[in-house]
Structure 1
Amino acid sequence: MRFASIPAINYPHRLTRKLRFSVNYSTSCALSSVNIIQDSNTHNWKYLDLQSRMQNYAASGDLPEALETLNFMKNVAGKPSIYDYNALFHRYLSSGNVSLEQLVQVYIGMKNFGPSPNRTTFNILLNGFLSLGYLRDAYFFAEEMTKSGMNPSFTSLSKLLKSSMKSGNLVDSIWIFKFMLRLDHLPTEPTVAMFICMLCKARMLEEAYRFCAKLISKNLNFQAYVFNPVLWALCKCGKSSLALQLFYMMKKNGIAHNVCSYTALLYGFGRECLWVDLYSFLDQMRSDGCKPNVVTYTVIIKFLCDDGRIVEAFEILKSMEIEGCDPDLVTYNIIIRALCLYDRACDVLELLQLIHRRGFSPDPYTYAALAGGIMKVGKTKIAYELLRKVFTRNCTVDVVVYNIYFHCLCRNNRSREAFSLLKSMTKGGIVPTTVSYNTVLRGFCRDNEIQHALKLLECFEWPESGPDVVSFNTVLSAACKLGDLVLIQRVLQYMECKGVEPDVRSLTCLVRYLSTVGRYSECWRLLEYMICNGPVPSSVTFNIFLDKLCRNGFTSKAYQIFERIQKAGLSLDRKTYNILLRSFLRKRDINLVECLIQDMYKQRLDPDLFIYGSKISGLCQEGNISTALFTRDRTLGNGLTPSMEMCNRSLKTVMHKNKHRDMTCHGMVTT
C-alpha cells in the first residue's frame, strides 16, 4: 500500500498480529505487554531504557519490535509522546529497510487515536520518503501537512520538485508545481526554466502557457530565457497569435525581451507566411533597440525561400551586409537550395563565388543543398556530376550527401556502383542508414534486377532500424509488377520472419498483382479484409482495382463495388469517379454518367477535361447545343481549358444544325 493511494485518512484502525500495536492500548495488547514484562522480570524498566531500545530496533529496520517496545512505555505517565513517535519515524526511515504498509498503519493510528502528528512528524516523513525516492508518498505527506494547518518548507518542496523533474515524471512535477504556487512557494528561476522546457518538450503547450501567465502575473523578476521556450514551441506549431499574446504579456510586466524572443515570433510569422506581420515586427524589434542577429535573418531568409520569395530573400541578405551582420554558411546553404529548386543556376554560381570570397569552404550541408535542389527539379545527371567531383576530391561529406549520391547513381542506372560505394563508406567512419540501403534497393528494382535486390534484402548488414516496411515494399512492388508469384511469396515470408507488419502500400501492391492476373474474387476478399481489420485501403488501392475491372469489361461489377465503398464511408477521389465515367461513356450509359457527375459535384469534385469533352461531344451529337455550351462554360469556370478538338467538334455540330435548319426553312429538306 502506498501513501499516495490513500484518498483521505478515514481508514478503520486494523491491527495486525505481526505488528502487535495499538495506540489506544487495547486490553489484548496490555495483557500481552504485562506477560512479556513478567516473563522478562523487568518491571523496573525505566522510560529511558525503553526509549533507547525502541530507537535501536527502529534503526535496525525492525519496526514490529520497535512498536512493541513503544507500547511498553504506556506504564509511564504521558508516554509514549509525539517525540517518541518522531524518533521512531526518523530512525526507521534512516535504516533504509522500510516497509511502507507498516508505516501506513502507524500513521493512521496516530491520526485516529493520537498523539496527533506535529510539524516535525510531517517534516521527518516528507524528507525521509524524499531521500528514499518515494516521491508520490513525500507529496502525500506535504498535502497532509497543509490539511493539518501547517505548510511544508520551501526547501522541502523545492527538493521534491527537482527530484520529480529529474526522474522525468512530468505529471507529478505539475502537481508539485501547482501545489507550490498555491502556497506561494515560488520555485527558483533555473527550476522554473527547466520545468517550462519539460512542458514544451512534452508538447503540453497550453499547460505551459497557463503556467507562464500565472508566473508573469506575480510580477516576478524572471528573465526572458525562462519563457522563450514557450514562445518558440507555440510558433513552431502554428500558434504565433498565442505566442504574440504571451510576448506582450511579458513586455507589459517589465520582462525585457532578448533577441531570442523576437526571433521566435519572426519564425512563427514566417512559418505561417504572415509577411506583413513579419516585416512590421522586424521594424518593432529594431525600434525596441534589439538588433537582429544572423539567426534572426537566417530564419526570415529560410521562410522567404520556402515561399518562393527569392528576390526578398536577397534583399534581406543585403540588409545584413549593410547592418554589419555577416551571413554564415547556413544562410548561404538555404539560399543555394532555393535557387536550385527554382532552376536559377547562374545565381547559384555567383553565390558560390561569393562564399569563396568570404572565406567559407562548402560543408556537407552545402553539397546536400546543391545536389538535393538540383535533383528535385529532375536534373539528376547534373547532380551526379557535381557529387562525383565532390567524392573524387575526398571532400568532407555526411550520410545525407551519400544518400543523395546513391539516389543520383541509381537514377542513372549505376546501382552496382552505388552498392560498391555503400559497402566502402564505413571505412570513412560514416555509418549507412536504412535510407541508404533502401535507396540502393530501389535502384536494383528500377534496373529490373529483382533477384539481386531480394538477395541484398536478405543479406544486407542492416542497422537496428532495418529492414523496415519501406525496404520490403520496394522489392514487393517490383515483384508484383513482374507478376512473379514465387518472388512475392518469398518477400512476404521474409517479411513475416522479420516481424514487419504490412502497411497499406504493401497490400496495395498485392491488389495490383491480383487484379492484373484477373483474380478479382481474391482481390475483393483482400480489400474486405483491409476494410474490416486494417490498414484501411486508400483511394489509390480502390482505383487500381476499379480500373482493372473497367478495362476488362466488368463495368457493372465495378459500379457495385463503388457503391459498397461509398456505403462504408471510405474516401474516394476524383480519379475514382473518372475511371467509372470513362467506362460508362464508352458504353453510352448517359444516365449513369449524369448520376456520377452530379455525385462528384456534391463531393466538391470536378471531372477531368476528357470527361467534359466526351459529355460535350455527346450533347452535340444529340443536338442539345445549349446544354453543351453550358457544360463548356462550366469547364472554363473550373480552370480547365477545352482542347481545340473539343471546340471544333462543338462548332461543327452547331454549323451542321444551323445548315439543317436553313435547308428545312427553304423546303429543301422534307420531314
Structure 2
Amino acid sequence: MNRSPVNPTLLKSVLKIHHLSNSAFSSLQTLPDSKTSSFLNPLYNFLPHTQNPSKIVDTICTNLKERRTALLEKDMIPHLGTEEVSRVLLRCQSDPFAALTFFNWVKNDLAFLPTIHNYCLMLHILAWSRKFPQTMKLFSELIELNRNKPEKASIFENLVLCTKDCSWEPVVFDILLKAYLKAGLIHDGFVTFRKMVKLGFVPKIISINFLLNGLLKLDRINECWGIYEEMGKIGVHGNTFTFNILTHVICKSGDVDKVNGFLEKMEEEGFDPDIVTYNTLIDSYVTRGRLKDALYLYNIMCIRRVMPDLITHTSLINGLCKEGNVKEAHKLFHKMIQIGLNPDIYSYNTLICGYINKEMMQESRMLLHEMIRNGITPNKFTCLVLIEGYKKKGMLISAVNLIVELQRFGISVSRDLQIDLVIALCQVDKPFAAKSLWERIVKDGEETCMIKIYNELIVSFCKSNYVNEAIQVKDEMFFKNVNPSLVTYGVIIECLCRLNRTMEGEAFMRDMIEVGIQPDMTIFRSLVFGYCKEKNLNQAESLLILFAEEFQVCDNECYNEVFKGFCEKGDMGKSMEFQKRMQKIGFTPNSLSFKYAIDALIVNSGMLHTY
C-alpha cells in the first residue's frame, strides 16, 4: 500500500461518520445491498453459488483477469450488491483497466448507479495508477450527479473514508479541487481546499492558482488573501502565476497603494515582476485615472529591462486619450512601432477613439487608411466609432462616403449601422442620400425592417415636399411585396394636400380603403382642408358626407372649415342650404359656425368699415 500521512486526530473525526454511511450517501445509492452481512461467515459455503458473495466476487475477478466480456452469470446478477462492487474494485487495484471495465459494466450495462463509496474507490485506483485524465473525467461525472441531488453527499469525506481500505495518493484531492473549479463550483473548491489543509494535505501550487483565479473572477477578494496566508502556514511557495493573480486581486480591490509593498514581497520570495505583472498594474492605474503612476511603472519597466509589449502601450495610449492628450498618445504609438512592435486592431481603435473624442475626424480617417495599408481589417467597433463620430458632428454624408469606401476595400459594415444611418439621414431631411444608401443595403441582400425604412424615407421626402419621389418609394414597396401602412398613406396624402394636389390625395385615400386600411382623422382633415384651400367646396362636402355615412365620423372642425368657405363666397343662401344638408347627416353647428355666419352677414351688409 502506498499511503501518505494523515493527521490521525482529524481523520478519526472524519471516520466517526462511517456508521452513518448508508443514510448519508443514499442520495447516490440505487444499487441494492446484497443479502449478506459478513463475508467471513462459513455458513455461506452451504448456499448455492449464485447466492455466495465470495463466489460472485471470485467469478467476476477471474473473468476480468482473463479479459472475458461476460462478467457474471445472469442468475447471479440479482445477488450483486454494493459491497460486492467494492470488493471487486479493491481486488483490482493493481489493474486499473480491469477495475474501470467492471465499474463501467455495473454503471452502464446493469443500469445501476454505483454508490459514492464505489465512485471514490474507483477514483483512488485511477489516481494511484496515475491515470489522471480518467480520474478528472470520473470526478466531473460524480460532481454532476451529486449537484443534482437535494441532499449532497461530501465527496471529500468519502474519499478520506476510502483511504483506510485501498492504495491512494494525495494527488486525488488536488484533482477533486480542480474538478470543482472546472465545473464552476468555486465555493465547493474553496471548501475542499480548507478541508485538505485541515487534514494535513498540502495542495499543489497549480491547484491553488486555479482556485485563486476562480475566486478572483467572483470578486471574492478576502478569500484570495486568506488562501495566500494559508500558503505561508503550510509551506507552499507561490510562483509567478500566483503573484500575477494576486496582483489582479490588488487591482480589483482598488487598493493600488499596496502595490509597492507587494512587489517588494515578490522580490523577497525570489520572483521579479514580469510583463504580466506590470501590464496588470498599468491597466489598473489607467482605469482609475492615475496616469502618472502608470507612466512611472512604464519607465521602471525599461530600467529593469522588462520590455513593454503591445498591451502595455495600448493601455497607456488609452490613458492618454482619456485625458485628451491625443498628440502624446500618437507619439507613444510611433515609439511602439520604432521599437519593433506592430500595432494591432486594438491599438488603432484606441487611438482612433482618442481623435474622434476630440472631433478630429480627418486624423482618425488617416489612421483608418494606415490600418488598411498595413493589412489590418477594421472591425465592427472601428466602423461604429467612425460613423458615430461623423454623426455627432452632423457630417452624415461623410459617414455614407466612409461606408462606400470601406465596401470598396472589401470591408463589410454592420447592417444595423447602415440602417441607423439611413434613419439619421431621413431625420435631417436628406432623403436622397438615405435612399441611395438603402438601395445599397437592399442590393447586398439585406431586406429586413423594410416597412420601417420605407416609411422613414417617405416621411423624409414628403417633409421636403418631394412627393413624387415619396410615391415612387410607395410603388417600390408594392414591388417588394411590402404592404404600405396607415403611416405611409397618411404622410403622402398630407403632402399632396399641402401642395394643392388634394384630388390625388383623395385617390390615394380610396386606394387605401380598397386594400383594407381605414383612414384616420388626420387624413380626413388633410383632405377637407386641402379642398377648402383650393376653393373646391363641393368636393369637400362630398368628403364630409362620405366620412359621416361610411365611417360615422362627424368632425365639427372639418364642417366649420367648409361652412367658412361657403360664407366667404358671400352667398348666405347657399351657406344655409349647406348647413341644412349637414344637419340631416349628423353635423351640428357650434359657436364657431355662428361666428362665421355673423362675420359674413356683416361683410355683406356693408357694416364693416376700414379705418
TM-score (norm 1): 0.47
Counterpart of 1:406 in structure 2 is: 419
Distance apart, 1:168 and its partner CA:
4.0
Alignment map for 1:210-609 (pairs within 5 Å): 210-212=226-228, 214-215=230-231, 223-229=239-245, 231-232=247-248, 235=251, 240-241=256-257, 247-317=263-333, 319-320=335-336, 323=339, 325=341, 327-345=343-361, 347-348=363-364, 359=374, 363-364=378-379, 366-391=382-407, 393-399=408-414, 402-413=415-426, 420-425=439-444
Distance apart, 1:210 and its partner CA:
4.1
Q: Matches of 2:281 and 2:423 in 1, distance apart?
A: 42
1:134 aligns with 2:132: no
Of stretches 176-185 and 88-97 in structure 1, the one that deviates more from structure 2 is 88-97
1:21 aligns with 2:27: no
- Mark the CA change 1:305 to 1:200 in structure 2 (over 3 Å): closer, same or farther: same
- Mark the CA change 1:13 to 1:330 in structure 2 (over 3 Å): closer, same or farther: closer
Q: Matches of 1:122 and 1:300 in 2, distance apart?
A: 50
Alignment coverage as a number of residue pairs: 414
Identity over aligned pairs, percent: 14
Counterpart of 1:526 in structure 2 is: none
- Mark the CA change 1:125 to 1:268 in structure 2 (over 3 Å): closer, same or farther: closer
Any conservation in 2 of the 1:212–1:227 contact (CA below 8 Å)? no
Q: Taking CA–CA contacts closer than 8 Å with sequence separation of 6 or more, which of the two structures ends up with the larger relative contact order?
A: 2
1:187 aligns with 2:197: no
Q: Say which of 130, 134, 143 aligns to 2:160.
A: 143
Q: Matches of 1:309 and 1:221 in 2, distance apart?
A: 43
Q: Which residue identity lines up with residue 144 of structure 1 in the other structure? A: L
Distance apart, 1:69 and its partner CA:
11
Q: Say which of 89, 99, 106 aligns to 1:96.
A: 106
Distance apart, 1:380 and its partner CA:
2.7
Any conservation in 2 of the 1:228–1:260 contact (CA below 8 Å)? yes
1:170 aligns with 2:186: yes
Any conservation in 2 of the 1:234–1:240 contact (CA below 8 Å)? yes
Q: Matches of 1:246 and 1:264 in 2, distance apart?
A: 13
Q: Which residue identity lines up with residue 52 of structure 1 in the other structure? A: D
Counterpart of 1:52 in structure 2 is: 58
Q: Which residue identity lines up with residue 35 of structure 2 in the other structure? A: R
Q: Once the two structures are superposed, what CA deviation does each residue of 1:245-287 show, in whole Å capped at 9, x if it has no partner?
A: 6555434322232212101111111111012322222222222
Counterpart of 2:502 in structure 1 is: none
Structure 1: runs of 5+ lacking an equivalent: 1-5, 71-81, 108-118, 462-474, 483-671
Distance apart, 1:19 and its partner CA:
3.5
Q: Matches of 2:405 and 2:455 in 1, distance apart?
A: 24
Q: Matches of 2:105 and 2:231 in 1, distance apart?
A: 40
Q: Matches of 2:441 and 2:252 in 1, distance apart?
A: 36
Distance apart, 1:142 and its partner CA:
2.0
Any conservation in 2 of the 1:54–1:65 contact (CA below 8 Å)? no
Q: Once the two structures are superposed, what CA deviation does each residue of 1:480-514 show, in whole Å capped at 9, x if it has no partner?
A: xx9xxxxxxxxxxxxxxxxxxxxxxxxxxxxxxxx
TM-score (norm 2): 0.51
- Mark the CA change 1:210 to 1:105 in structure 2 (over 3 Å): closer, same or farther: closer
Q: Which residue identity lines up with residue 268 of structure 1 in the other structure? A: S
Distance apart, 1:352 and its partner CA:
6.0
Q: Which residue identity lines up with residue 155 of structure 1 in the other structure? A: V
Q: Matches of 2:400 and 2:295 in 1, distance apart?
A: 39
Distance apart, 1:173 and its partner CA:
3.2
Q: Matches of 1:301 and 1:276 in 2, distance apart?
A: 13
The 3-state SS of whatever aligns with 1:289 is: coil
Distance apart, 1:353 and its partner CA:
7.4
- Mark the CA change 1:305 to 1:155 in structure 2 (over 3 Å): closer, same or farther: same
- Mark the CA change 1:426 to 1:139 in structure 2 (over 3 Å): closer, same or farther: farther
Distance apart, 1:24 and its partner CA:
10
Any conservation in 2 of the 1:337–1:369 contact (CA below 8 Å)? yes
Any conservation in 1 of the 2:34–2:82 contact (CA below 8 Å)? yes
- Mark the CA change 1:18 to 1:387 in structure 2 (over 3 Å): closer, same or farther: closer
Q: Matches of 2:307 and 2:391 in 1, distance apart?
A: 37
Q: Once the two structures are superposed, what CA deviation does each residue of 1:202-251 show, in whole Å capped at 9, x if it has no partner?
A: 55454445445544776756543455355447646856456776555434
Q: Which residue identity lines up with residue 355 of structure 2 in the other structure? A: L
Q: Say which of 4, 8, 11 aligns to 2:20.
A: 11
